[in-house]
Amino acid sequence: MLTGTAGRKAHGKSEAAAPRRVPLGGAIQAEYFDADPAYRQAFLDHCDLIMPMNELKFDQIRPARDAWNFEPADRLVEFALANGRQSRGTCHVWWNALPAWVEAIDDAGEAEAVLVEHVERVTDRYRGKLAGWDVVNEVIANDPQQEGPLRRTDWLRKLGPRHIPIAFAAAARTDPATRLVINDYDLEFVGPRFDARRDVMLSIVRQLQDGGVEVHGVGMQGHLYADREIDKPALERFHRELGALGVGLLVTELDVIDWHSPADPQTQDATAHRLVSDLLDALFAWKPPEAVIVWGISDRYSWIPAVLPRPDGAPDRPLPLDRDMVPKEWMRLLDERLRRGD
């Protein structure tokens, strides 16, 4: 179970703070961990949980059939544990980050053997060290109304929908104590496409349970958009429906995509604060989420400028610390709400 921790340095101050009732996590990247001491320190100053962002993905762990590379992930997990933080894994199954040798497999039996071997070996290596795993990531179609429920991925082509329970079952038997999560994006917003995505997620969870497969949580990525509204009633209802199934909810990749907001830092930050506040209001309306994990920590390093750049070329402000590692108001909001747990 994910838990908050006591005695963290609050906003870079030295005094001990009350423990967070809901843990605050951050996703860390090895390349910046090695090069930037201020980046490393920011995770220690602000996070209860430190999660490798990319280093546990398939193409990083096993770039070739006979080559396993655990060293970057090992360093990040050990950094977290040595400093009294929790860690978790993301992700075993994803449509992206597959090495070419896996993409080339055409035989279903071989594909299943490779998938099971991968999940079992990686899960076993970190058994007892990780509080949970995103076992399966982004399997829902972008628009289920138009495309059907599941994204057309390489794993779906090779194994059909059964690749989902295969991965969960392999993780469960390898580390029965860890929390097993299914993770996806666009579960937060107003509109029929987002309603459909929430419905598909609930259906997948029910099908796993009906098949006797353990699933403990749903990861809601939480990539928030400045031009979208959080559907607070629908999100509260979704949380309750998961709870009725005995399944928790956590935020796994929180950041704010402000590409269509005015190029003014105060406006960008106010928009981010409002969206994060609305998200927390919806999540806490029934019961606290299991964790809130930020997809990075500082604007200095984010995927957003490369993938979703602002048309005006202005700097993005997607994360709770600015480029100088100074906390924004929405970091303070996160800290206060997660400490209170309401």
* DSSP letter string, 194-230: HHHHHHHHHHHHHHHHHTT----EEEE--EEETTS-B
Q: Which two tokens stand for residue 200?
A: 């598909």
Please, are residues 47 and 319 in contact by the beta-carbon 8 Å criterion?
no
User: What's the confidence (pLDDT) of residue 15?
Assistant: 38
d(CA 31, CA 5): 27
How many CB atoms sit inside 10 A of residue 341's CB? 14
Q: Which two tokens stand for residue 130?
A: 């990780």
Residues 6+ apart with CB under 8 A from 205: 182, 215, 218, 242, 245, 247
pLDDT one-digit tens code per residue, 287-330:
999 999 999 999 999 999 999 999 999 999 999 999 999 999 99
Q: Give the residue among 57, 69, 56, 61 at the shortest CA–CA distance from 96.
A: 57
pTM for this model (two decimals): 0.95
User: What's the confidence (pLDDT) of residue 261?
Assistant: 87
Strands (E), the chain: 24-28, 49-52, 89-94, 132-137, 179-184, 217-220, 223-225, 248-257, 292-294
Q: Name the residue with tokens 């179609």.
A: 141
Q: List beta partners, residue 49.
A: 25, 86
Exposure string (b/e) for 60-82, b if CB count within 10 Å is 16 or more?
Answer: bbbeeeeeeebebbeebbebbee
Residues present in the chain in total: 342
Q: Which two tokens stand for residue 12?
A: 């870079």
Which residues in the chain show pLDDT less than 50?
6-16
pLDDT one-digit tens code per residue, 27-61:
999 999 999 999 999 999 999 999 999 999 999 99
* DSSP letter string, 77-135: HHHHHHTT-B--EEEEEESSS--HHHHT---HHHHHHHHHHHHHHHHHHTTTT-SEEEE
Domains (range + CATH), the chain: 10-340 (3.20.20.80)
d(CA 220, CA 205): 14
Burial of residue 161 (number of CB atoms within 10 Å: 0-12, 13-18, 19+): middle
User: What's the confidence (pLDDT) of residue 260?
Assistant: 86
d(CA 166, CA 245): 20
Is the bond into 91 cis (omega within 30 degrees of 0)?
A: yes
Exposure string (b/e) for 207-227, b if CB count within 10 Å is 16 or more?
Answer: ebeeeebbbbbbbbbbbbbbe
User: What's the confidence (pLDDT) of residue 5?
Assistant: 55
Q: Give the residue among 306, 187, 300, 173 at the shortest CA–CA distance from 249.
A: 187
